[in-house]
Amino acid sequence: MPSPDSGIDAAHRRVIFASSLGTVFEWYDFYLYGTLAVFFSSLFFPPGNDTAAFLASLATFGAGFAVRPLGALLFGRIGDLVGRKYTFLITIVIMGLSTALVGVLPKYAQIGIWAPILLVTLRLAQGLALGGEYGGAATYVAEHAPHGRRGYYTSWIQTTATLGFFLSLAVILGCRLGFGEEVFSAWGWRVPFLLSVVLLGVSVYIRLKLQESPVFLEMKDAGTLSRAPLTESFGRWGNAKFVLLALFGATAGQGVVWYTGQFYALFFLQNTLKLDFQMSYLLVAAALLTGTPFFIVFGRLSDRIGRKRIMVAGCLLAALTFIPIFKGLTSSVNPALAEFESRASVTVAGQDCRFHIFSKPRTPCDQARDFLTKSGVSYVREPYDGSHDVVTTVAGVQLTGFDEAAYRSTLTSNGYPTAADPARVNLPVTVLLLTILMIYVTMVYGPIAAFLVELFPSRIRYSSMSLPYHIGNGWFGGFLLGVAGEVPASVRRPP
């Protein structure tokens, strides 16, 4: 939040603080599920296939992203017709209540198939609400900002997603350590969700004290409000071309950089590199704390040199360095895994090889690939020679058919680590690499609110900027985890 010496007067500090704080809480709600996606796979989905349950939990997380553009259309229209303030009051109430209800949701063992159905329903409600939140908060702050300072003012809003993510990590880690794993697994996981009731009360109280945007009030008094904001935004080429520009020229790339640098980095540490949850949370939290101030740095810099230059630079750097950075994380976090991959190639050749997301792998080839993927082992597909259902080689040792015990024994005998050794983790290098990922996030995300606000006229601004933002973030970025979780480890981690 703005400090007293930030060059922002008291009235504008209240606007930024109220908008930012409410959005912090909203992102906290949204990220709780994402952070606990691995844990939830055993609570709300059918038992019997750990990989399928995990991927189903990721798909449920993705369902919230899928409906975000619908929320953008719904609440964007309301925001342009009725006002900015009342619209994001509605969104935060929906978000807070749907999150709190997850905290009292019965598990699969108690109500069967209704557990995932109800969970998906609540995730859809969260996604709809978030679809209307960001556009309202960014528009509201931008319409209070003095000329030439929109990048700086709106960059405070940009910190909220990371702060909300950090808050969710801190609460979950505190609960797991405070309750212990047994209690947390039994019922302690509900506490972070139930805390949303408190956060909801604080957020609503703060936002009720806000006044409507001065730009919106001027349009209302002058009778220049749009009567059909969706038609003006997307049905007229003069504005629609800027919507497409915002989507493919800005938010799509920003979404991928954002979710790779924060969410996928955490999943990579835990699932691929097999680092324990406590250390992975702390490492990501350290990178978040280090990198978050750069949202403000790049937002303020964009007022001086332009938004586009900074955002393009961030996307280019990410595209050029993501693979070496994640390869570096493998070496610094789990050097035994990197050593195993350097000396022991793994190949799979078989017939009837399909990847089953929501059903249990049935053929030997499916079972072999499922086992290797679940273990985080990189493998290369080889042509099928017709000799056996599946032939897997590990460091030259040939395994025919699928026998899990034989697979485990062969991997172990060749030095495959079942978990990362905390004593061998190179903490400075790991934090540095995670921080670099975070810096890329701040470069593309810090200036983007001001960039989007300035693309569109004020009468249709809420609608016009919300849709491309949530398609870019909700679809291109939000489905990143599910796509990464579905492909073989050889694609997810370069050998």
Q: DSSP letters of 37-52? A: HHHHHHHHS-SS-HHH
Residue 319: which residues within 8 A CB-CB, separation 6 or more? none
pTM of the model: 0.79
Cα separation, 326 vs 334, in Å, equals: 12
Q: Phi first, then psi: give them for residue 231, nearest 5 degrees.
A: -65, -45
- Output DSSP code: residue 422: G
Instruction: Take residue 195 and report the two structure tokens written for it.
Output: 């805390």
Could you give all domains of the chain from N- to C-terminal order, each with its CATH number? 10-335+423-492 (1.20.1250.20), 345-413 (3.40.30.10)
Output the tens digit of pLDDT for each of the chain's 495 residues: 555 445 666 667 777 777 777 677 767 876 777 667 667 777 777 776 666 666 666 667 667 778 888 888 899 888 888 888 888 788 888 888 888 898 898 988 888 888 888 888 888 888 888 888 877 888 888 888 888 888 998 888 888 777 887 788 788 888 988 998 888 888 888 899 898 888 888 888 888 877 888 888 888 888 888 888 889 888 889 888 988 988 888 888 888 898 888 778 888 898 888 898 889 988 988 998 899 899 999 999 999 999 999 999 999 999 999 999 999 999 999 999 888 888 888 999 887 776 555 456 778 888 888 888 777 788 888 887 777 889 999 988 999 989 989 999 999 998 889 889 999 999 999 999 999 999 999 999 999 988 988 888 888 888 888 888 888 776 665 555 544 544 433 333 333
Q: Phi first, then psi: give them for residue 349, nearest 5 degrees.
A: -135, 130
The answer to whether residues 122 and 60 touch, using CB atoms and an 8 Å cutoff, is: no
The answer to whether residues 187 and 175 touch, using CB atoms and an 8 Å cutoff, is: no
Instruction: Take residue 110 and report the two structure tokens written for it.
Output: 């108690």
In 273-407, DSSP assigns E strands to: 346-350, 380-381, 390-394, 397-400
Cα separation, 283 vs 38, in Å, equals: 18
The answer to whether residues 238 and 457 touch, using CB atoms and an 8 Å cutoff, is: no
Strands 380-381 and 346-350: parallel
Place of tokens 């002058």: 222
For 14, what's the count of Cα atoms within 13 Å in the CB-facing half-sphere?
10
